[in-house]
Protein backbone atom coordinates (compact mmCIF):
# COMPACT_ATOMS: atom_id res chain seq x y z
CA UNK A 1 0.00 0.00 0.00
CA UNK A 2 1.78 3.11 -1.22
CA UNK A 3 1.04 6.50 0.24
CA UNK A 4 1.26 8.30 -3.10
CA UNK A 5 -1.73 6.60 -4.76
CA UNK A 6 -3.85 9.15 -6.60
CA UNK A 7 -6.97 7.05 -5.94
CA UNK A 8 -7.59 4.70 -3.10
CA UNK A 9 -10.74 2.91 -1.94
CA UNK A 10 -10.89 1.39 1.52
CA UNK A 11 -13.36 -1.43 2.15
CA UNK A 12 -15.94 0.11 -0.11
CA UNK A 13 -19.43 -1.39 0.10
CA UNK A 14 -22.62 -0.43 -1.68
CA UNK A 15 -26.04 -1.98 -1.41
CA UNK A 16 -28.98 -1.18 -3.67
CA UNK A 17 -32.59 -1.37 -2.69
CA UNK A 18 -33.98 -0.96 0.75
CA UNK A 19 -35.34 -3.67 3.02
CA UNK A 20 -36.18 -7.10 1.69
CA UNK A 21 -34.62 -7.43 -1.75
CA UNK A 22 -31.24 -5.94 -1.08
CA UNK A 23 -28.63 -6.19 -3.81
CA UNK A 24 -25.00 -6.14 -2.83
CA UNK A 25 -23.28 -4.21 -5.61
CA UNK A 26 -19.92 -3.82 -3.83
CA UNK A 27 -18.52 -5.54 -0.80
CA UNK A 28 -15.34 -4.43 0.95
CA UNK A 29 -13.57 -3.40 -2.20
CA UNK A 30 -10.12 -1.90 -1.68
CA UNK A 31 -8.13 -0.83 -4.69
CA UNK A 32 -5.58 1.83 -5.52
CA UNK A 33 -4.25 3.59 -8.58
CA UNK A 34 -0.86 5.25 -8.55
CA UNK A 35 0.23 8.04 -10.93
CA UNK A 36 1.37 6.91 -14.38
CA UNK A 37 -0.43 3.56 -14.01
CA UNK A 38 -3.22 2.15 -16.16
CA UNK A 39 -5.34 -0.30 -14.22
CA UNK A 40 -8.37 -2.31 -15.24
CA UNK A 41 -11.44 -3.63 -13.42
CA UNK A 42 -12.66 -6.70 -15.21
CA UNK A 43 -15.87 -8.50 -14.57
CA UNK A 44 -19.07 -9.71 -16.15
CA UNK A 45 -22.04 -7.49 -16.58
CA UNK A 46 -23.64 -6.77 -13.21
CA UNK A 47 -20.50 -7.48 -11.24
CA UNK A 48 -20.36 -3.93 -9.83
CA UNK A 49 -17.82 -2.20 -12.12
CA UNK A 50 -19.92 0.88 -12.77
CA UNK A 51 -20.88 1.11 -9.14
CA UNK A 52 -17.21 1.04 -8.16
CA UNK A 53 -16.22 3.72 -10.67
CA UNK A 54 -19.12 6.03 -9.70
CA UNK A 55 -18.35 5.65 -6.01
CA UNK A 56 -14.65 6.22 -6.70
CA UNK A 57 -15.52 9.33 -8.72
CA UNK A 58 -17.57 10.93 -5.98
CA UNK A 59 -20.88 10.44 -7.78
CA UNK A 60 -22.33 7.65 -5.65
CA UNK A 61 -22.29 7.68 -1.90
CA UNK A 62 -21.00 4.30 -0.63
CA UNK A 63 -22.71 2.57 2.28
CA UNK A 64 -19.40 1.76 3.90
CA UNK A 65 -15.74 2.51 3.36
CA UNK A 66 -13.83 5.54 2.13
CA UNK A 67 -12.66 6.96 -1.16
CA UNK A 68 -9.45 8.98 -1.15
CA UNK A 69 -8.38 11.01 -4.14
CA UNK A 70 -5.02 12.70 -3.70
CA UNK A 71 -5.44 11.80 -0.01
CA UNK A 72 -8.72 13.73 0.25
CA UNK A 73 -11.74 11.83 1.56
CA UNK A 74 -14.31 12.52 -1.19
CA UNK A 75 -17.34 11.88 0.95
CA UNK A 76 -16.11 14.13 3.74
CA UNK A 77 -16.68 17.09 1.44
CA UNK A 78 -19.94 18.96 1.19
CA UNK A 79 -21.77 18.20 -2.08
CA UNK A 80 -20.76 21.56 -3.51
CA UNK A 81 -17.09 21.13 -2.58
CA UNK A 82 -17.16 17.59 -3.95
CA UNK A 83 -18.50 18.81 -7.29
CA UNK A 84 -15.67 21.29 -7.67
CA UNK A 85 -13.08 18.83 -6.45
CA UNK A 86 -14.33 16.21 -8.89
CA UNK A 87 -14.25 18.65 -11.76
CA UNK A 88 -10.65 19.54 -11.00
CA UNK A 89 -9.24 16.10 -10.15
CA UNK A 90 -11.31 13.35 -11.71
CA UNK A 91 -12.06 12.73 -15.37
CA UNK A 92 -14.84 10.47 -16.66
CA UNK A 93 -15.53 8.68 -19.89
CA UNK A 94 -18.47 6.39 -20.45
CA UNK A 95 -19.58 3.80 -22.93
CA UNK A 96 -22.19 6.34 -24.09
CA UNK A 97 -20.21 9.44 -24.78
CA UNK A 98 -22.71 11.96 -23.41
CA UNK A 99 -21.56 14.67 -25.76
CA UNK A 100 -23.61 17.87 -25.76
CA UNK A 101 -25.42 17.73 -29.11
CA UNK A 102 -25.67 21.48 -29.69
CA UNK A 103 -22.00 22.21 -29.05
CA UNK A 104 -19.26 21.75 -31.61
CA UNK A 105 -16.31 19.41 -31.02
CA UNK A 106 -14.14 22.21 -29.67
CA UNK A 107 -16.97 23.59 -27.52
CA UNK A 108 -17.64 20.16 -26.06
CA UNK A 109 -14.00 19.86 -25.12
CA UNK A 110 -13.98 23.31 -23.52
CA UNK A 111 -17.33 22.80 -21.77
CA UNK A 112 -15.85 22.08 -18.29
CA UNK A 113 -14.36 25.59 -18.49
CA UNK A 114 -17.87 27.00 -18.03
CA UNK A 115 -18.02 25.49 -14.55
CA UNK A 116 -14.38 25.61 -13.50
CA UNK A 117 -11.51 28.01 -13.77
CA UNK A 118 -9.21 26.15 -16.11
CA UNK A 119 -5.92 27.88 -16.91
CA UNK A 120 -4.91 28.02 -20.59
CA UNK A 121 -8.24 26.46 -21.56
CA UNK A 122 -7.94 27.41 -25.23
CA UNK A 123 -4.41 26.04 -25.61
CA UNK A 124 -5.21 22.86 -23.74
CA UNK A 125 -8.37 22.22 -25.73
CA UNK A 126 -6.57 22.90 -29.01
CA UNK A 127 -3.71 20.60 -27.94
CA UNK A 128 -6.09 17.75 -27.00
CA UNK A 129 -8.05 18.10 -30.22
CA UNK A 130 -4.79 17.80 -32.18
CA UNK A 131 -3.50 14.94 -30.07
CA UNK A 132 -6.71 12.95 -30.65
CA UNK A 133 -6.60 13.69 -34.35
CA UNK A 134 -9.79 15.80 -34.32
CA UNK A 135 -8.15 18.95 -35.74
CA UNK A 136 -10.22 18.77 -38.93
CA UNK A 137 -13.41 18.26 -36.91
CA UNK A 138 -13.37 21.17 -34.43
CA UNK A 139 -16.43 22.90 -35.88
CA UNK A 140 -18.42 19.73 -36.40
CA UNK A 141 -21.27 18.64 -34.20
CA UNK A 142 -21.37 15.25 -32.46
CA UNK A 143 -24.06 13.99 -34.84
CA UNK A 144 -21.59 14.46 -37.71
CA UNK A 145 -18.87 12.30 -36.13
CA UNK A 146 -18.12 8.58 -36.19
CA UNK A 147 -18.45 6.73 -32.88
CA UNK A 148 -14.67 6.52 -32.56
CA UNK A 149 -14.36 10.26 -33.04
CA UNK A 150 -17.11 10.85 -30.53
CA UNK A 151 -15.32 8.87 -27.85
CA UNK A 152 -12.13 10.81 -28.57
CA UNK A 153 -14.05 14.08 -28.08
CA UNK A 154 -15.39 12.72 -24.78
CA UNK A 155 -11.87 11.74 -23.77
CA UNK A 156 -10.51 15.18 -24.63
CA UNK A 157 -13.28 16.74 -22.57
CA UNK A 158 -12.42 14.47 -19.61
CA UNK A 159 -8.78 15.50 -19.79
CA UNK A 160 -9.07 19.27 -20.41
CA UNK A 161 -8.99 20.07 -16.67
CA UNK A 162 -5.89 17.82 -16.40
CA UNK A 163 -7.33 15.58 -13.67
CA UNK A 164 -5.06 13.32 -11.64
CA UNK A 165 -7.17 10.25 -12.41
CA UNK A 166 -9.34 9.19 -15.31
CA UNK A 167 -12.23 6.79 -14.68
CA UNK A 168 -13.34 5.03 -17.85
CA UNK A 169 -16.46 2.87 -17.72
CA UNK A 170 -16.29 0.47 -20.66
CA UNK A 171 -15.20 3.29 -22.95
CA UNK A 172 -14.74 0.94 -25.89
CA UNK A 173 -18.02 -0.90 -25.45
CA UNK A 174 -19.56 0.78 -28.46
CA UNK A 175 -16.45 0.73 -30.64
CA UNK A 176 -14.96 -1.56 -33.25
CA UNK A 177 -11.56 -3.16 -32.66
CA UNK A 178 -9.64 -0.47 -34.51
CA UNK A 179 -11.21 2.39 -32.55
CA UNK A 180 -10.95 0.43 -29.34
CA UNK A 181 -7.20 0.22 -29.92
CA UNK A 182 -6.98 3.94 -30.61
CA UNK A 183 -8.81 4.79 -27.38
CA UNK A 184 -6.76 2.35 -25.29
CA UNK A 185 -3.60 3.82 -26.79
CA UNK A 186 -4.76 7.31 -25.93
CA UNK A 187 -5.50 6.27 -22.34
CA UNK A 188 -2.15 4.56 -22.04
CA UNK A 189 -0.36 7.61 -23.39
CA UNK A 190 -2.20 9.81 -20.91
CA UNK A 191 -1.21 7.48 -18.03
CA UNK A 192 2.40 7.36 -19.11
CA UNK A 193 2.56 11.17 -19.23
CA UNK A 194 1.76 11.56 -15.54
CA UNK A 195 -1.92 10.71 -15.41
CA UNK A 196 -3.58 7.62 -14.02
CA UNK A 197 -6.36 5.49 -15.50
CA UNK A 198 -8.87 3.09 -13.99
CA UNK A 199 -10.87 1.40 -16.71
CA UNK A 200 -13.82 -0.95 -16.37
CA UNK A 201 -14.18 -3.63 -19.03
CA UNK A 202 -15.92 -6.93 -19.48
CA UNK A 203 -13.50 -7.93 -22.24
CA UNK A 204 -10.95 -10.65 -21.90
CA UNK A 205 -7.78 -8.82 -22.87
CA UNK A 206 -5.56 -8.28 -19.89
CA UNK A 207 -2.16 -7.72 -21.50
CA UNK A 208 -0.41 -4.38 -21.27
CA UNK A 209 -2.10 -3.12 -18.08
CA UNK A 210 -0.35 -2.35 -14.85
CA UNK A 211 -2.90 -4.28 -12.81
CA UNK A 212 -6.19 -6.07 -13.41
CA UNK A 213 -8.77 -6.25 -10.63
CA UNK A 214 -11.19 -9.10 -11.13
CA UNK A 215 -14.69 -8.29 -9.84
CA UNK A 216 -17.43 -10.83 -9.29
CA UNK A 217 -20.73 -10.14 -7.54
CA UNK A 218 -19.27 -7.02 -6.01
CA UNK A 219 -16.26 -8.76 -4.54
CA UNK A 220 -12.66 -8.58 -5.65
CA UNK A 221 -11.24 -11.96 -6.72
CA UNK A 222 -7.69 -12.86 -5.79
Partner 1 sequence: MSIWSIIRKEIAHNRGNFVIGLLCIAVALGLVVGSVTLLAAHDINTEQVVDAKERETREAMEALEDDYRMMMRDMGYNVLVLSADQSIDELRMHGAPNTYMPVDYVEALSTGGIENLNHLFPVLQQRVTWPEKEREIILCGTMGQVPNFEKPQFLNDEGMYRNPIREAIPAGAVELGHDIARAAGVAEGDVVTLFDEEFTVQRVHVRRGNEDDVTVWCDLAKVQEWFDLDGQINGILALECVCHFEEFGLVEQEVQEILPATQVMEFGTIMRARLEARARAEQMHETALDQEIAYRGQLGEQRQGLVRILVPVVLLGAAVWIFFLILGNVKDRQGEIAVMRTVGFGEGKIMGIFLIKAALMGVAGAVIGYLLGITVGAAWEGIVFWSPEFGQLINPALIGLIMIGAPALAIIAGWIPAMKAAQLDPAVILREE
Could you list the residues that contact ligand ADP (CB under 6 A)? 16-17, 23, 25, 43, 45-51
Q: Does 87 bind partner 1 (CB under 8 A)?
A: yes
**CA count, 13 A, side-chain hemisphere, 160:** 29
Stretch that binds partner 1, among 28-36, 55-63, 129-137, 212-220 (CB under 8 A): 55-63
184 C-beta neighbours (distance < 10 Å), count? 22
Contact 165, 8 (CB under 8 A): no
Q: Report the half-sphere exposure of 182 (CA within 13 A, side-chain side).
A: 16
Nearest distance in Å: CB 144, Mg ion: 28
Binding partner selected for residue 94 from ligand ADP, Mg ion, partner 1, none, CB under the kind-specific 5 to 8 Å limit: partner 1
CB neighbour class for 104 (10 Å; exposed up to 12, middle 13-18, buried from 19)? middle
**In angstroms, rounded to a whole number, what is the distance separating the alpha carbons of residues 32 and 65?**
14
Minimum distance, C-beta of residue 25 to Mg ion, in the bound complex (Å) = 10
To the nearest whole angstrom, how small is the minimum distance from the Cβ of residue 206 to Mg ion?
18
Phi/psi for 110 (5° steps) reads -85, -5
Q: Which does 86 bind (CB under 5 to 8 A by kind): partner 1, Mg ion, ligand ADP, none?
A: partner 1
User: Could you tell me which of 162, 93, 165 has the C-alpha nearest to residue 121?
Assistant: 162
- Contact residues toward Mg ion (CB under 5 A) are 50
- Contact residues toward partner 1 (CB under 8 A) are 45, 50-51, 54, 57, 59-60, 79-80, 83-84, 86-88, 90, 92, 94-96, 98, 100-103, 107, 110-116, 157-158, 161, 169-170, 173
Amino acid sequence: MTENAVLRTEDLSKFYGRTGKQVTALENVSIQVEPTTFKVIRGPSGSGKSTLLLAAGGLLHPDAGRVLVREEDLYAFSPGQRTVFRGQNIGFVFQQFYLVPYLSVLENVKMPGVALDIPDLDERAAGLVERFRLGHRVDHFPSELSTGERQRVALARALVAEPGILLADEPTGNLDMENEQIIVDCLREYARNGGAVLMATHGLRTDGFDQVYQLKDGKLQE
